[in-house]
Amino acid sequence: DLDANPLTKDDSSLETIVRKFQDTSLKRHKFWETQPVGQFKDVGDTSVPEGPIEPPAPLSEVKQEPYNLPSPYEWTTCDMDSEETCTEVYNLLKNNYVEDDESMFRFNYSKEFLRWALHPPGYYKSWHIGVRAKSSKKLVAFITGVPARIRVRDVVVRMAEINFLCVHKKLRSKRLAPVMIKEVTRRVHLENIWQAAYTAGVVLPTPITTCQYWHRSLNPKKLIDVGFSRLGARMTMSRTMKLYKLPDSPATPGFRKMELRDVPAVTRLLRDYLSQFVVAPDFDENDVEHWLLPHENVVDSYLVESPKTHEITDFCSFYTLPSSILGNQTYSTLKAAYSYYNVSSKTPLLQLMNDALIVAKQKDFDVFNALDVMQNECFLKELKFGPGDGQLHYYLYNYRTRHALKPSELGLVLL
Ligand code: MYA
């Protein structure tokens, strides 16, 4: 695929921009044309109403047996609490999951991260779906869903968030992905849920919005050495290192790590903040405890507690997603932090995110990544983020929005 993906590197060349425009609605989509998703032919037709494309079916009409796989393969439900299964999933993804367009880097989600991502409140084990080779029992493909409440304008919709779709490199282009998508859909329907949200680096029918990744160098020398970024025109290594230098500690008085006792205050702050976006998660305290309480090497969250009133006024968070560096003599891993949910009510967002960069640097991350979602535009250029070379498209399944959204109207970050 041309516009292959969300693992992006520094790039803003004209060539890249032109390439992005070529991979749009011209392609046929034998599978996606059969699914209840916005179709390219309907783009711009504002007469179609917003909401579900198909009504829910009675549960008795949901297919009771799994879809057929090609005969050498069988379905397996992956128990991520099992160390053995979790290791198999980890290795499948480590070797076969998302790469950048030039195959220099590949996402390397940690086991701890996978367990966290797949065990939110109310999760269904049956939505963690693997495919094994019948003869060797080797895990060769994977797809997952987790439940979420997502608000679209003023309607809160129960959805599945679909992620970690992966087919072993040796089994590509055999139309396994459509069977896996149909099977996860069936298992989601069995729980009486009829909508889903997902992101992909590829263009499918039809994105609700298209976002761009931005990258902020924290360790510019390593990023240049491994080919993640290039030395700028008329720049030396020492000038570059000086350009990206950060203070040793955060500047905002009362800036500290989030704790369990902060969950109610953070939930109020976040709910209030997310209410301004067209599409955003509807988080309650249980969700906030799961998704935002700091979890070593998985998610980091900080807040600002007013030194005088002890009020919680601001919040920022990022998750840990390293990438393997493919074929470098010196380095094997790129340590990346990904901006997650940030809320500013008193501290300017720019200052809050500068403090987030400072703590990410202290924690030895090489790069801090952020999408142009929510209000992120207001700090990206100012804090020396540069645009990445790939895009991330957001999709809803069985839910139409009247128009595409601007990235700044989106309040949702998927992992
Ligand atoms: S996004 C991350 C996806 N993973 C990777 O990029 C890892 C590396 N790549 C691979 O493992 C394979 O290339 C994959 C495709 C598995 C991606 N999302 O089997 P095929 C369509 C949706 O011959 P393969 C993430 O995890 C493609 O357009 N569809 O292809 C979110 C074509 O259909 P059509 C995709 O390369 C996943 C068909 O598959 C994607 O061997 C959300 C070709 O199948 C993609 N990323 O395998 C899934 N890539 O002919 C949808 C290709 O129509 C969830 N395709 O163009 C939908 C909601 C379900 C729940 C609903 C509940 C109500």
> In this structure, how many other beta carbons lie within 10 angstroms of the beta carbon of residue 257?
12
> In this structure, how many other beta carbons lie within 10 angstroms of the beta carbon of residue 65?
6
Q: Is the CB of 138 under 6 A from ligand 1?
A: no
Mutate to test the pocket of ligand 1, among 5, 59, 105, 165 (most ligand atoms within 8 A of CB): 165
Which two tokens mark 154?
Answer: 């003023």
Confidence of residue 318 (pLDDT cuts 50, 70, 90): very high
Relative to the CA of 204, which ligand 1 atom is closest?
28
- The residue whose CA is least distant from atom 33 of ligand 1 is 31
Beta bridge partners of residue 151, listed in sequence order: 156, 280
pLDDT at 13: 54
| pLDDT over 90 at 5, yes or no | no
What average pLDDT score do residues 2-26 get? 48
DSSP one-letter code for 99: B
Q: What is the pLDDT of residues 273-282, one digit of tens each?
A: 999 999 999 9
What average pLDDT score do residues 359-368 get? 98
pLDDT at 44: 82
Confidence of residue 104 (pLDDT cuts 50, 70, 90): very high
Residues ≥6 apart with Cβ < 8 Å to 112: 295, 296, 297, 298
pLDDT at 2: 26
| pLDDT over 50 at 97, yes or no | yes
**Alpha helices for 226-262 (secondary structure H):** 237-243
Burial classification of residue 406, based on how many CB atoms lie within 10 Å of its CB (0-12 exposed, 13-18 middle, 19 or more buried): middle
Confirm if 214 and 370 have CB atoms less than 8 A apart: yes
Instruction: Give, in degrees to the nearest 5, the angle at Cα 242 between 238 and 247.
Output: 145
pLDDT at 3: 28
pLDDT at 349: 98
pLDDT at 47: 82
Q: Is the CB of 94 under 6 A from ligand 1?
A: no
- The residue whose CA is least distant from atom 39 of ligand 1 is 177
pLDDT at 41: 86
Share of the chain above pLDDT 90, in %: 90
Burial classification of residue 260, based on how many CB atoms lie within 10 Å of its CB (0-12 exposed, 13-18 middle, 19 or more buried): exposed
pLDDT at 212: 98
pLDDT at 9: 64
What average pLDDT score do residues 179-188 get? 98
Residue type for 250, please?
P
**Span from the CA of 177 to the centroid of ligand 1 (angstroms):** 5
Q: Is the CB of 415 under 6 A from ligand 1?
A: no
Q: Is the CB of 181 under 6 A from ligand 1?
A: yes
**Span from the CA of 178 to the centroid of ligand 1 (angstroms):** 7
Q: pTM of the full predicted structure?
A: 0.95
Average pLDDT of the chain to the nearest whole number: 94
Q: Is the dihedral of CA 386, 352, 154, 160 positive or negative?
A: positive
Confirm if 407 and 211 have CB atoms less than 8 A apart: yes
Confidence of residue 315 (pLDDT cuts 50, 70, 90): very high
Burial classification of residue 375, based on how many CB atoms lie within 10 Å of its CB (0-12 exposed, 13-18 middle, 19 or more buried): middle
Q: Is the CB of 203 under 6 A from ligand 1?
A: no
pLDDT at 1: 24
| pLDDT over 50 at 289, yes or no | yes
Confirm if 390 and 100 have CB atoms less than 8 A apart: yes
Q: What is the pLDDT of residues 120-141, one digit of tens each?
A: 999 999 999 999 999 999 999 9
Q: CA-CA distance, 340 to 322, in Å (whole number)?
A: 15
What average pLDDT score do residues 388-396 get? 95
Q: What is the pLDDT of residues 195-247, one digit of tens each?
A: 999 999 999 999 999 999 999 999 999 999 999 999 999 999 999 999 999 99
DSSP one-letter code for 117: H
DSSP E strands in 24-90: the ranges are 73-77
- The residue whose CA is least distant from atom 18 of ligand 1 is 200
Confidence of residue 8 (pLDDT cuts 50, 70, 90): low
pLDDT at 14: 47
Closest CA to 216 of 385, 409, 64: 385
Active site residue 415: yes
Q: CA-CA distance, 310 to 324, in Å (whole number)?
A: 42
Query: 410 vs 47, 123, 211, 406, CA distance in Å?
Result: 23, 24, 9, 7
pLDDT at 10: 62
HEC per residue, 179-200:
HHHHHHHHHHHCCCCCEEEEEE
